[in-house]
Amino acid sequence: IKILDARFVVTAVEPKGYPQGHTAEVAFVGRSNVGKSSMINTLTGRKKLVRVSNTPGRTRTLNFFDVDLERGTFRHQVRLCDLPGYGFARASKADKAQWEQMITTYLEKRHRLEVVVSIIDAEVGPTPDDLATLDYLQSHKRKVLVVATKIDRLTKAKTLPRLQELSRQLDLPMEAILPFSSTERRGVDEVWGALLDTFGK
Ligand code: GDP
Of 23, 119, 111, residue with least CA distance to 69: 23
Ligand 1 atom 14 nearest Cα: 54
**CA atoms of 15 and 55, how far apart (whole Å):** 27
- Is any atom of ligand 1 closer than 6 Å to the C-beta of 56? yes
Whole-model pTM: value is: 0.95
* Best probe residue, ligand 1, of 33, 36, 38, 49 (max atoms within 8 Å of C-beta): 38
What does the pLDDT read at residue 90?
66
Give residue 58 CA to ligand 1 midpoint distance, Å.
Answer: 14
> DSSP state, 65?
E
What does the pLDDT read at residue 56?
53
* Best probe residue, ligand 1, of 29, 52, 88 (max atoms within 8 Å of C-beta): 52
Average pLDDT over residues 162-167: 97
Question: How many domains, in total, are found in the chain?
Answer: 1
Average pLDDT over residues 86-112: 85
Inter-residue contact 185 to 152 (CB < 8 Å): no
How many residues are listed for the chain in this entry? Answer: 201
CATH code, 177? 3.40.50.300
Ligand 1 atom 22 nearest Cα: 150
Taking residue 110's Cβ as centre, other Cβ atoms within 10 Å add up to: 16
- Is any atom of ligand 1 closer than 6 Å to the C-beta of 152? yes
What does the pLDDT read at residue 111?
95
Burial 143-177 (b: 16+ CB within 10 A, else e): ebbbbbbbbbebeeeebeebbeebbeebebeeeeb
**ipTM of the prediction:** 0.99
Ligand 1 atom 6 nearest Cα: 35
> DSSP state, 121?
E
- The SS3 assignment for 158 reads helix
Query: Phi/psi of residue 28, each to 5°?
Result: -115, 125
Question: Could you list the residue range(s) of the whole structural domain that residue 176 is in?
Answer: 2-198
- DSSP string covering 75-93: EEEEEEEEPPPB--TTS-H
Confidence category of residue 89, pLDDT binned at 50, 70, 90: low
Average pLDDT over residues 108-113: 96
Q: Which residues fall within 8 angstroms of residue 106, CB to CB, at 6 or more apart?
A: 15, 18, 27, 62, 81, 83, 113
What does the pLDDT read at residue 190?
98
Q: Reply yes or no on whether the pLDDT at 54 is more than 60.
A: no
